[in-house]
Amino acid sequence: MRILICGLALVVFGCGMSPVLHHDSPQRTNLDVNKVEGNVPHCDFEIKTQGLCGSLTWDHTPVVLQDAPYTLQFWKKGVAIANKGPFVEPQGKVTTDIFMPSMGHGGHGKVSCEESTSTPGVYAAKNVIFIMGGEWRVRIFIKGSPLGDDQAYVSVTLPE
């Protein structure tokens, strides 16, 4: 009987509490570096023409006027395991930049984008210099694919 009551209490407590817990848990922000949500990788952006998902991971929290490198990973939507892949090299050339839509300008200098030699479908972006605080977009461009050009972006807000 004691076990039964205990079990019941757990069920009631669990059901009653979980929405509250869920609600109170800190919201994922676009500065989070942890992409793991169970085994399903979080899709930060999509390359719809190729059925690909992508993630953007900052090496460190971006700060104005300091290099803020990041990593892009691509995988076939729905089939990869978070941070493990298999990652997929998009068709066409992958480039990336940063852009401030409210003012129509980019960062300082040109963002470089190099594919990992050991893991195709993973790209390192460097020379990422935000010149002011506010709302920015990290843009991802696909060019020269037989499936057509495509682009996507991830929003990021830097403190003033």
Q: What does residue 143 show for φ and ψ, rounded to 5 degrees? A: -130, 145
Stretches 6-14, 46-54, 74-82, 131-139: which one binds Cu ion (CB under 5 A)? 131-139
Specify the residue, 30 or 83, whose C-beta has the smaller distance to Cu ion: 30
**Contact letters for Cu ion, residues 40-69 (x by CB under 5 A):** ------------------------------
Stretches 34-42, 109-117, 125-133, 152-160: which one binds Cu ion (CB under 5 A)? 125-133
Q: Which of 108, 115, 109, 107 is nearest to 138 (CA)?
A: 107
Stretches 1-9, 16-24, 73-81, 132-140: which one binds Cu ion (CB under 5 A)? 132-140
105 contacts 111 by C-beta, under 8 angstroms: no
| Beta bridge mates, 114 | 124
- Can residue 158 be called a binding residue for Cu ion (CB under 5 A)? no
CB of 68 to Cu ion, least distance (A): 15
Rounded to an integer, what distance in angstroms lies between the CA atom of residue 99 and that of residue 87?
Answer: 26
**By rule CB under 5 A, what count of residues binds Cu ion?**
3
Specify the residue, 65 or 103, whose C-beta has the smaller distance to Cu ion: 103
Instruction: Give the residue closest to Cu ion by C-beta.
Output: 103
CA dihedral 92, 96, 99, 105 (to 10 degrees): -80
CB of 105 to Cu ion, least distance (A): 6
Q: Which residues contact 65 (CB under 8 A, 6 or more apart)?
A: 108, 129, 130, 131
CB of 100 to Cu ion, least distance (A): 4
Rounded to an integer, what distance in angstroms lies between the CA atom of residue 143 and that of residue 90?
Answer: 10
Rounded to an integer, what distance in angstroms lies between the CA atom of residue 112 and that of residue 110?
Answer: 6
Q: Which of residues 77-106 bind Cu ion (CB under 5 A)?
A: 100, 103
Interface ranges with Cu ion (CB under 5 A): 100, 103, 132
